[in-house]
Amino acid sequence: MKIRTEFLPFSRPSIGEREVAEVTACLRSGWITTGQKCLDLETGFRERTGARCAVSLTSATAGMHLLLLALGIGPGDEVITPSLTFASTVNQIVLAGAKPVFVDVDYDTLNIKVGQVEDAITPRTKAVIPVHFAGGPADMDPLLPVARRRGIAVVEDAAHAVGTVCRGIHAGGFGVPAIFSFHPIKNITTGEGGMVTLDDEALERKIRLLRFHGIERDAWKRYGKGGDPSYDIREPGFKYNLTDIQAALGVVQLARVEEFNARRRLLADLYRKGLAGIEGLDLPGVPDYPHEHPWHLFVVKVSALPRERFMEGLAERNIGYGLHFPAVHRLAYVRERFGDMSSRLPETERAADRILSLPLFPDMTEGDVAYVCEAVREILGR
Ligand SMILES: Cc1ncc(COP(=O)(O)O)c(C=O)c1O
C-alpha cells in the first residue's frame, strides 16, 4: 500500500467557526469565569439526560472525587467497578481511603458483567461504578434493582456517553449520579471539563459547595451590582469550577453532538465492514439490549500478532492509536496494595493484552477509514 505522508491521529476535536465565535464573544464580554455560560451548559445536560440537576466541573475526575466524598465513601468501604476503566476512577476510590473491588467485563462489549456485581457485594460495599465503555451502555436495567435492594449507591461513569441511550434512557437519566467528560478526545469537548448529573437536590447542593471552596455564594452573585461580597464556609471545599470560556465552547459542541455522533456511527459502520472477517482480529461487540451507541471509541482486539507489532505496523503507516485502557488491576500501586486479582478477571485479562483503539473522530474522512482498514489487513496478513 502507498503510505500516507500526513499522520492520521487517533483523535482530534472538531472545532468550527461557531465555537471560535462563541469563545471570542465570551472573552470580550467581561465575564470569563463560572457564570451564565456554565449555567447554559448545565441546562443543556439536564435537558439531554432528563436528570433534575447538573453541575459543571473542571473534569469528570473532579466529579468522581466530589461524588465519592459527598456519598461519604471512605476508609473501610469498598467500591465495585470494572478494571477496564480509566485509572482516574480507581485513583479516586483509593485516595478516598476505600478499596476497589473489580468485576469482570464481557470480552465482546468490554462492559461490566452486571450479573456478577451482586456476588461482589459485601457488608462494606458502598457503591458500584459501571462504565459505559466506548459509549456502549452498561446494562442499567438489572443493575439498579440489585443496588437498591442491597442499599448501595450507583455512580454512572458516563465519560464516554454523551449520546449513549440504554433502553430508551440517556446516560445520566437513571436517577443516580453520573459523570461526563469533556476532555479533547471525548464526543464533545471544552478543552478540559466535566459534568455531574443527578436527581438529588441535597447532593447537588453539596457538590456545588465542594466545587468552589465550600463558599456558600457564587462569585457572579457576590460581584454583581449590589451584591454581598461576604461569605461563609461550613465545610472546606475544592476549586473545581468550569470557566465560562470553556462552557461557551461546550454549549456549541453540545448543540452539534447529534451531527458528531451521526458521523462517528457512520465511520464505525465503515470500519465494521472494512475489517470484517480478518482472522485474529475481533471487532467491538455491541449490547444485545435496545441502545444507541455514540461510538466514542472503536476498540479492536488483536490476537494474530503481539499488540506491539500491530502498533509498529500502524506507526510505520502513519496511523495513530490509543489504549483504552491498561487494566487497572495490573497497575503497580494497585497490585502492591491489593494483590494479584487476575484470576478473578478472566475476560478482562483476555482483552487487556489485545485491545487497541483505532482512529475515530468526526472530521475523519471515509478515505481515512478505508486507509486504516487496508493497513490493518496488510499488517495482520503478513
Ligand atoms: C472511562 C473514563 N472515566 C473517567 C474519565 C475521566 O475524565 P476526565 O479526563 O474528564 O477527568 C475518563 C477520561 O478519559 C474515562 O475515559
pLDDT in tens, 292-328: 999 999 999 999 999 999 999 999 999 999 999 999 9
> Please, what is the end-to-end C-alpha distance for the chain in angstroms?
13
pTM: 0.97
Region for 318 from its dihedrals, namely left if φ exceeds 0, alpha if ψ lies in -120 to 50, beta otherwise: left
Average pLDDT over residues 192-221: 91
Average pLDDT over residues 276-280: 96
Q: In the prediction, which pLDDT does 314 show?
A: 98
Q: Is the peptide bond before 325 cis (omega within 30 degrees of 0)?
A: yes
d(C-alpha 345, C-alpha 348), whole Å: 5
Cα 61 to ligand 1 centre (Å):
6
3-class secondary structure, 41 = helix
Task: Name the nearest CA neighbour of 212 among 55, 340, 93.
Answer: 55
Q: In the prediction, which pLDDT does 225 show?
A: 76
Report pLDDT digits (tens) over 320-358.
Answer: 999 999 999 999 999 999 999 999 999 999 999 999 999
Tell me how many helices (H) and strands (E) the chain has: 14, 14
Nearest-CA residue for atom 14 of ligand 1: 86
CATH number at 17-255? 3.40.640.10
| Inter-residue contact 154 to 143 (CB < 8 Å) | yes
Report pLDDT digits (tens) over 236-272.
Answer: 999 999 999 999 999 999 999 999 999 999 999 999 9
Q: What is the mean pLDDT of the chain?
A: 96
CATH number at 257-381? 3.90.1150.10
Report pLDDT digits (tens) over 117-142.
Answer: 999 999 999 999 999 999 999 999 99
Pocket of ligand 1 (CB under 6 A): 59-61, 85-86, 88-89, 131, 157, 159-160, 181, 183, 194
Q: In the prediction, which pLDDT does 101 show?
A: 98
DSSP E strands: which ranges in the chain?
Answer: 53-57, 78-82, 99-103, 125-128, 153-154, 156-157, 165-166, 169-170, 178-181, 194-198, 281-282, 291-292, 298-302, 355-358
78 φ/ψ angles, rounded to the nearest 5 degrees: -120, 145
Q: Indicate if 113 belongs to the active site.
A: no
Beta carbons within 10 angstroms of residue 91's beta carbon:
18
Whether 217 shows a pLDDT value over 80: the answer reads: no
Distance of CA 235 to the CA centre of its chain: 29
Which one of the listed residues 186, 206, 221, 239 is annotated catalytic? 186
What residue type is assigned to position 289 of the chain?
A: Y
Task: Name the nearest CA neighbour of 265 among 229, 294, 224.
Answer: 294
Q: In the prediction, which pLDDT does 189 show?
A: 98
Q: In the prediction, which pLDDT does 230 show?
A: 87
Whether 219 shows a pLDDT value over 70: the answer reads: no
Q: In the prediction, which pLDDT does 293 show?
A: 98
Cα 92 to ligand 1 centre (Å):
12
Which of residues 229 and 13 earns the better pLDDT score? 13
Whole-number Cα distances in Å, 143 to 123, 140, 250: 18, 5, 31
Q: In the prediction, which pLDDT does 221 show?
A: 65
* Res. 216 pLDDT band, cuts 50 70 90: confident
The residue ranges of every structural domain in the chain are: 17-255, 257-381
Q: Which atom in ligand 1 lies closest to the alpha carbon of residue 131?
A: 1
